[in-house]
Amino acid sequence: MNLHAVQAIYRFEMSRWLRTIVQSVAAPVITTSLYFIVFGAAIGRRMPEIDGVSYGAFIIPGLIMLSILTESISNGSFGIYMPKFAGTIYEVLSAPISVVEIVLGYVGAAATKSVVLGLIIMATARIFVPYEIAHPFVMLAFLVLTSVTFSLFGFLTGIWADGWEKLSIIPMMVVTPLTFLGGSFYSIDMLPDVWRTIALFNPVVYLVSGFRWAFYGVSDVGVGVSLAATAGFLIACLAAVTWIFRTGWRLKT
């Protein structure tokens, strides 16, 4: 393992993130805080409890997950797309480093950014809505696993994209709608049977449900199923990355 190569890529990506701290951290924190103020502190006081949890506290895991998914994909995709756009990807591919080391550097940096952002949003939420974390270690496990998985998915998106506009298609047109329809603001048990069955095909349901269980011990699906679904998506992304580097698709052409 060439740790110097991994460290070089990781430090470069983290330094770039720090140079754009207002856009990378302040903007998503402020945006999510507005949700906490409007739906948590204001509307939440007039909403009934869901599964014994106040509405303001109930939506916190879903809002955190929304930010983590969006930022993980954005960070992961931008990190690999920039070398493609600038033409420096060929230097990376010709360097004496393996695929594992390249992925560790780029995806590790993107996941670190998402974990830090998630923790900041979690701390900010306490200013507006009181809440407790029933299973802190499970919460951290979901936070890290989700950040790594969707940073890897963002890495794939950055390889697939052949223009700047395509970098925003997946986060804005796919992930955000799926998150809003994935039980972020409600329990899918509140839906009619037909729509609840349809909702179970939404992968974000399992992420939000498992993350919410770590907070309050309540979930729409079993926590084991949520972990298995996330791990399965991670394995699928790893398989896709392996195939891309083996064939050179969108990298060497």
Is the pLDDT at 139 greater than 70? The verdict is yes
- The pLDDT of residue 218 is 92
C-alpha–C-alpha distance, residues 54 and 39, integer Å: 11
Across 18-44, b (16+ Cβ under 10 Å) vs e yields eeeeeebbeebeeebbebbbebbeeeb
**Domain residue spans of the chain:** 3-247
Cβ-based neighbour number of residue 127 at 10 Å:
11
pLDDT for 243-253, tens place per residue? Answer: 988 887 887 66
Show Cβ contacts of residue 94 under 8 Å, excluding neighbours closer than 6 positions.
none
- The pLDDT of residue 147 is 95
pTM above 0.85, yes or no: yes
pLDDT for 191-239, tens place per residue? Answer: 888 988 888 889 899 999 999 999 999 999 989 999 999 899 999 999 9
Is the pLDDT at 135 greater than 90? The verdict is yes
149 exposure class (CB count in 10 Å sphere: 0-12, 13-18, 19+)? buried
Cβ-based neighbour number of residue 136 at 10 Å:
11
